[in-house]
Amino acid sequence: MPPPPRTPPRSPGAPARSGPDLPGLPRAARRPAADAVALRRALHRTPETGLHLPATQRLVLDALDGLGLEIRTGRALSSVTATLTGAADGPTILLRSDMDALPVIEDTGLPFASRTPGLMHACGHDAHMAMLVGAARLLAGRRDALAGHVVFMFQPGEEGDHGARHMIGEGVLEASGSRADAAFALHVQPTLPAGSVRLRPGEQMAASDRFRVLVRGRGGHASAPHTTCDPVPVACEIVLALQTAVSRGLAADDSAVLSVTGLNAGTAPGVIPDTAELSGTVRTLSGPTRRRLHEAIARIAHGVAAAHGATAEATVTPGYPVTVNDAAFTEFVLRTAAETLGAGAVGVLPAAQLTAEDFSYVLQEVPGALAFLGACPPDLAPDESPSLHSSRMRIDEDVLATGIACEAAVALAFLTGPGARPAR
């Protein structure tokens, strides 16, 4: 008798087998959701920024205590990596939450508003941590059904400090003992209907770079501008010229944004300064466009300055890469979320967004996806809701249960049952 056929290796987008009660997860998520709301509010009261978040880290560690997870903390940053090992061997999936807040003065009027002057969880990272802790609790109670590992990645420094890159350097992708096979993250979005899940294959979020242009002229008395080389109008002309770098330098279907967000010069009304400085951001969805705009910034700055007898120094500081969702894994998430939450709650994002995410570093290394979780407050319509990074940003806390169920569903569907590791 010939041997039975081998089970073919599954792709990164395919679950090992059907079997987990995905439609029952939203109901099961209600229990950890109550604790998640309390945790989210505690985190919201005590925001911290950057890579070093000792109070935030302590709240996360306390919330994970007793779940039987292998816990590691970061060496160069206040990260938390928690690994859940299932009952059988199998692949590893990484679930990620960011941890840091923003230098924003809160204006929500919430009873649990920030108690730290000048800082606010205005990007929903408090909700992300609370949901991931809730998913850890849900999955820890189902470890006997898991064939493989779940790595819970709590990451500081998402808001410009490259925290994911630091954690990759410290080994988060190998936390289970072997390299992660897939990765998933949720990001709340108050301008989408509460409880909806949206993502798209391929480019979903932009690369984000910063630029600075220093114009050097020759200062003097404001009453005699003809004796000077005034850098202020030169800088203003550079600002105007940069606006055509996108509108006239790129194809109409090539999405990009170049925004000048700072312009500084002078110290007194009667003094023409020696220098003027402008700064801003450039957002792109492809490598060639990114390089083209970097070159355009330098070329335009130097050319305009030279036309006026001044000089300009242009510096572009690379930021996060493009966030690219793996197509097969995205399809898997769409199917899994639809089975868990209902088909009406799940959809493909119609276009990429020009915001940026350092989960992009993880997705450069591991097939996976980032999805948006709609969190519009119940008293507002999505188009009325203050956006992420607003001092008035609020969310519907009922979506925490939805997020917990979605994250747990993706891990359960990926790890439940026999099968080879995903083909890479």
To the query of whether residue 397 is one of the catalytic residues in this protein, the response is yes
Closest listed residue to residue 340, CA positions, set 391, 403, 250, 287: 403
Name the DSSP letter for residue 58.
H
How many Cβ atoms from other residues are within 10 Å of residue 230's Cβ?
Answer: 22
Interatomic CA distance for residues 81 and 61, integer angstroms: 10
Active-site pick, 106, 203, 397, 407: 397
97 CB-near residues (< 8 Å, 6+ apart):
125, 128, 129, 131, 132, 152, 153, 154, 155, 185
Residues 6+ apart with CB under 8 A from 56: 43, 46, 47, 48, 78, 99, 100, 129, 156
Tell me if residue 320 is catalytic. Answer: yes
220-221 and 275-284: which strand pairing? unpaired
> Please, which residues have CB within 8 angstroms of residue 361's CB and are 6 or more apart in sequence?
162, 164, 165, 168, 320, 321
Spatial contact of 354 and 154, defined as CB atoms under 8 Å apart = no
- Residues present in the chain in total: 424
Count the neighbouring beta carbons within 10 Å of the beta carbon of residue 210.
15
Catalytic residue among 320, 357, 361, 407: 320
Closest by CA position to 377, among listed 392, 357, 359: 392
Name the residue with tokens 């003992």: 177
Q: What φ, ψ does residue 385 adopt, rounded to 5°?
A: -75, 130
Q: Which residues are catalytic?
A: 320, 397
